[in-house]
């Protein structure tokens, strides 16, 4: 069984920002350093991790769970051809493959928790659906990718808020008057005005002041890691700093900044060649950037 601090979910609010490329190369980097790593594709509607690793036509994946609707499935682990690195594929691109019921998602999550590995990397779909956020929250503290564009930064903020509010809403699930403050999935029931932690605490103080302490504990235990991708200029790094300030100010959460990856044709080319850049060009700037991120992660997690 893998402990939650060794489950590393890689997510972000926006599509196409480099979640899968970074997740794959981080997993490769840790595997090359001798750790036993499993890389899991949880992007059921648009899976592509296998392609990034050069695994063509994967013979099985989570789709085998969904079809049989059974948790007595054979091992889904596939070899990747890279020492210490195994892969679990998602569900393919068949229409409807992303529409998985919560019971099946629960089976998938149990399967992930029961893996035997030093580290498990989860590559997430874009967006803030509960299926995605619940995968993110499987990890003690996931990694969030952002790019410097304003739209990406805004979506990253929303992603962190969604993950935090989801953690709180799980504790409030049996208390109708509290859950409507943090579960905004149904706007007709929710209190949509509660968009920041200060507003939430103010409203909780009026309803049930003890819950303010509970919220503080959840905030303290939530330390998402941030990675800035597609950095072209020095000034691009400011976007990550601004985001961290926003997250501290409005959510009370202190993200851990792990570093950045430059914009590089070498990253793009490695995708086309189906070989992770950490293997293909280990001395390149992107590979150095990635090693810095791995070192920062290792320092932050002892």
According to the binding rule CB under 6 A, does residue 15 interact with ligand ATP? yes
Which stretches of 17-171 are DSSP H helices? 19-32, 49-52, 63-68, 102-113, 130-138, 150-171
**Strand 85-88 relative to strand 78-79, pairing:** antiparallel
Smaller CB distance to ligand ATP: residue 191 or 236?
Answer: 236
Residue 109: CB minimum distance to ligand ATP, A: 19
Q: Name every residue whose Cβ is closer than 8 Å to that of residue 17 and which is 6 or more positions away in sequence.
A: 126, 145, 146, 147, 152, 229, 230
User: Binder to ligand ATP among 42, 169, 211, 229 (CB under 6 A)?
Assistant: 229
Using alpha carbons, list the distances in angstroms from residue 86 to 9, 90, 116, 122.
16, 13, 11, 12
**How far is the C-alpha of 257 from the C-alpha of 144, rounded, in Å?**
10
Smaller CB distance to Mg ion: residue 10 or 239?
Answer: 10
**How far is the C-alpha of 61 from the C-alpha of 93, rounded, in Å?**
12
Q: Which of these ranges, 1-9, 15-23, 177-185, 244-252, lies near Mg ion under the rule CB under 5 A?
A: 15-23
Structure token pair of residue 261: 């990856």
Q: Which of these ranges, 17-25, 210-218, 227-235, 252-260, lies near Mg ion under the rule CB under 5 A?
A: 17-25
Residue 144: CB minimum distance to ligand ATP, A: 11
User: Binder to ligand ATP among 80, 146, 194, 264 (CB under 6 A)?
Assistant: 264
DSSP states along 169-229: HHHTTT-HHHHHHH--SSTTTS-TT--SHHHHHHHHHHH-THHHHHHHHHHHH---EEEEE
Choose the contact partner of 15 out of ligand ATP, Mg ion, none; CB within 5 to 8 A by kind: ligand ATP
User: Binder to Mg ion among 20, 152, 194, 211 (CB under 5 A)?
Assistant: 20
Residue 284: CB minimum distance to ligand ATP, A: 11
Smaller CB distance to ligand ATP: residue 85 or 267?
Answer: 267
User: Binder to ligand ATP among 50, 180, 201, 230 (CB under 6 A)?
Assistant: 230
Give the distance from CA 141 to its chain's centroid: 9
According to the binding rule CB under 6 A, does residue 40 interact with ligand ATP? no
Cβ atoms of residues 22 and 292 within 8 Å: no
| 21-24-26-31 Cα dihedral, nearest 10 degrees | -160
According to the binding rule CB under 5 A, does residue 270 interact with Mg ion? no
According to the binding rule CB under 6 A, does residue 236 interact with ligand ATP? no
Please report, as residue ranges, which positions from 121 to 180 form the binding site for ligand ATP (by CB under 6 A).
126
Residues that bind ligand ATP (CB under 6 A): 15-21, 43, 46, 126, 229-230, 261, 263-264, 267-268, 271
């Amino acid at each position: 069984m893998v402990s939650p601090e060794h489950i590393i979910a890689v997510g972000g609010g926006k599509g196409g920002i480099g979640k899968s490329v970074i997740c794959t190369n981080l997993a490769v980097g840790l595997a090359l350093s001798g750790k036993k790593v499993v890389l899991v594709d949880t992007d059921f509607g648009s899976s592509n991790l296998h392609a990034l690793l050069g695994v063509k036509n994967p013979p099985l994946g989570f789709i085998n769970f969904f079809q049989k609707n059974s948790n007595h499935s054979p091992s889904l682990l596939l070899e990747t051809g890279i020492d210490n690195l195994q892969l679990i594929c998602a569900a393919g691109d068949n229409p409807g493959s992303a529409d998985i019921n919560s019971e099946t998602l629960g089976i998938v999550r149990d399967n992930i928790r029961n893996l035997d590995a030093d580290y498990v990397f989860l590559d997430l779909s874009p967006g803030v659906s509960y299926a995605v956020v619940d995968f993110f929250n499987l990890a003690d503290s996931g990694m969030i990718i952002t790019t410097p564009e304003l739209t990406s930064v805004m979506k990253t903020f929303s992603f962190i808020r969604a993950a935090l509010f989801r953690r709180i809403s799980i504790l409030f699930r049996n208390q109708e008057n509290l859950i409507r403050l943090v579960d905004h999935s149904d706007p007709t029931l929710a209190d949509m005005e509660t968009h920041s932690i200060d507003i939430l605490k103010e409203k909780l103080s009026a309803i049930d002041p003890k819950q303010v302490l509970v919220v503080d504990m959840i905030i303290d235990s939530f330390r998402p890691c941030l990675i800035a991708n597609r950095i072209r200029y020095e000034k691009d790094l400011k976007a990550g700093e601004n985001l961290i300030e926003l997250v501290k100010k409005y959510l009370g959460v202190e993200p851990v900044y792990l570093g950045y990856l430059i914009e590089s044709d070498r990253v793009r080319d490695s995708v086309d060649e189906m070989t992770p850049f950490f293997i293909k060009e280990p001395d390149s700037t992107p590979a150095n950037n990635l090693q810095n991120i791995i070192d920062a992660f290792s320092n932050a997690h002892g």
